[in-house]
């Protein structure tokens, strides 16, 4: 029987992002988005209870029993830090552990478009990184923050849930706050953050009207704001933000968004050929004066054609990016066709 230290250490050695410990299943890890059993042994109620007691303080264990869940950081001495959610379900205990990496990959290491690297040079405005859960949004933003940290002397405030990368101060001062541990929610932390003299603010997720409104205001008033949203493309991102607000306020938000938004990167993770890991496919929208007018005049449905013709400004549609990955022999034909929007057009191009 593997100890919790052995399970977590082995997970890191196998490049896993997460570890799942649930009764009735073997210890399971997530590698390149796929769940894999770490050993054949099926976990019993006593196993997960034992793991929880090994990891939790008495106070945390009491909170788990009373509240049904608890979030905490767990460090193996001289090794990695893990963010853990221990939870009760059907009178059993489960554990979900996220590996926190101290190595922050660069945009080049992640093979992201050069346009993303430019964000580190921005001084103000709203930059959004969007996509479904588990598509690498946090990693992309971490790489941007690390680039800022290497180049600029400024104060970077991050508000995260949970913290996934630990930034060490280089040229910048980086203050990382975690929702549930250091603050109650994103909106309160963001509002308080404006009084903490930040130059750059990272919002782990824009979940509600107040957070979105405050983030836009912060971007308007001279801060560089980096944030994530669970949307699939640039068009949907802008529509989602506007739709959060009541009808009478939507025109005002269009005007504010047209002024503050500077870039939207919508990404998803795709399997490489021959099961050789995953790669991000990225749609890039750089907000030009023409696009500001589209947003202001409620003509966002025309965005796609502007992205198609905006390559000189660093823009690229998801379909074009996917086609480039296919032609570079990075992804399979089936992967390309599964994710493109204009399937018939792509079929004509690839034959």
* Alpha-carbon gap, residue 284 to 119, rounded angstroms: 12
pLDDT over threshold 90, residue 102: no
DSSP at 101: B
Give me the pLDDT at residue 317, please: 96
Residues 50-82 pLDDT 10s:
999 999 999 999 999 999 999 888 888 877 888
DSSP line for 332-350: -HHHHHHH-S-HHHHHHHH
At residue 247, the pLDDT reads: 92
How far apart CA 98 and CA 162 sit, in angstroms, is 9
Average pLDDT score over residue span 243-269: 96
Q: What is the mean pLDDT of residues 331-349?
A: 94
What pLDDT does residue 134 have? 81
Residue 223: per-residue pLDDT? 97
Question: For position 78, what pLDDT does the model report?
Answer: 77
Q: Is residue 156 within 8 Å of 174, Cβ to Cβ?
A: yes
pLDDT at 156 over 80: yes
State residue 238's pLDDT score.
Answer: 96
- Mean pLDDT confidence for 177-197: 92
Asked if residue 345 has pLDDT above 90, the reply is: yes
The arithmetic mean of pLDDT across residues 328-343, rounded, is 95
Phi-psi region of 79 (alpha: psi -120 to 50; beta: other; left: phi over 0): beta
Which pLDDT score, from 0 to 100, does residue 67 have?
A: 94
pLDDT at 1: 80
Compute the distance between CA of residue 183 and CA of residue 222 in angstroms, rounded to an integer. 24
Residue 99 has pLDDT above 90, yes or no: no
Give CA–CA dist 156/180, Å, rounded. 20
Percent with pLDDT over 70 in the chain: 100
Q: What is the pLDDT of residues 260-305, one digit of tens each?
A: 999 999 999 999 998 778 999 999 999 999 999 999 999 999 999 9
Instruction: Report the pLDDT value the prediction gives residue 303, as an integer from 0 to 100.
Output: 93
- What global pTM score does this model have? 0.86
CA terminus-to-terminus distance, the chain: 53
| pLDDT the model gives residue 302 | 93
Beta bridge partners of 286: 263
- What's the rounded Cα separation, in Å, for the pair 128 and 231? 10
CA 137, CA 216: separation in Å to the nearest integer? Answer: 19
**Range 269-278, long-range pairs (CB < 8 A, 24+ positions):** 269/33, 269/134, 269/135, 269/136, 270/322, 270/325, 270/331, 270/335, 270/339, 271/32, 271/33, 271/331, 271/332, 271/335, 272/330, 272/331, 273/329, 273/330, 273/331, 273/332, 275/32, 277/32, 278/32, 278/33
- Give dist(CA 94, CA 197) in Å, integer: 40
Q: Residue 52 corresponds to which tokens in the numbers above? A: 């929880």
Q: pLDDT (tens digit, 9 = 90+) per residue, 210-219?
A: 999 999 999 9
């Amino acid at each position: 029987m593997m100890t919790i230290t052995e399970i977590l250490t082995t997970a890191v050695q196998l490049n896993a992002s997460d570890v799942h410990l649930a009764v009735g299943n073997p210890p399971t890890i997530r590698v390149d988005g796929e769940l894999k059993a770490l050993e054949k042994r099926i976990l019993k109620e006593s196993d997960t209870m034992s793991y929880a007691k090994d990891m939790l303080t008495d106070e945390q264990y009491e909170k788990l029993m009373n509240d049904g869940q608890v979030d905490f950081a767990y460090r193996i001495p001289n090794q990695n830090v893990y963010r853990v959610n221990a939870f009760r379900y059907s009178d059993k205990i489960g554990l979900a552990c996220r590996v926190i990496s101290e190595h922050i990959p660069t945009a080049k290491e992640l093979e992201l478009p050069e346009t993303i690297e430019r964000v580190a040079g921005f001084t103000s405005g709203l930059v959004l990184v969007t996509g479904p859960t588990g598509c690498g949004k946090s990693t992309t933003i971490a790489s941007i923050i690390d680039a800022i940290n290497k180049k600029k002397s400024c104060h970077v405030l991050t508000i995260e849930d949970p913290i996934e990368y630990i930034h060490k101060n280089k040229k910048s001062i980086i203050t990382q706050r975690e929702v549930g541990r250091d603050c109650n929610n994103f909106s309160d932390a963001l509002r308080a953050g404006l009084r903490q003299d930040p130059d750059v603010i990272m919002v782990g997720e824009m979940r509600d009207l107040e957070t979105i409104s405050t983030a836009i205001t912060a971007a308007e008033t001279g801060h560089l704001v980096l944030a994530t949203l669970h949307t699939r493309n640039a068009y949907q991102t802008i529509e989602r933000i506007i739709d959060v607000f009541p009808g009478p306020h939507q025109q005002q938000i269009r005007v504010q968004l047209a002024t503050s938004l500077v870039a939207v990167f919508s990404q998803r993770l795709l399997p490489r050929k021959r099961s050789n890991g995953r790669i991000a496919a990225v749609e890039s929208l750089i907000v030009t004066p023409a696009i500001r007018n589209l947003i202001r005049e409620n003509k966002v449905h025309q965005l796609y054609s502007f992205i198609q013709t905006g390559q000189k400004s660093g823009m690229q549609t998801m379909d074009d990016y996917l086609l480039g990955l296919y032609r570079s022999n990075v992804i399979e034909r089936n992967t390309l066709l599964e994710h493109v929007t204009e399937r018939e057009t792509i079929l004509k191009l690839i034959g």
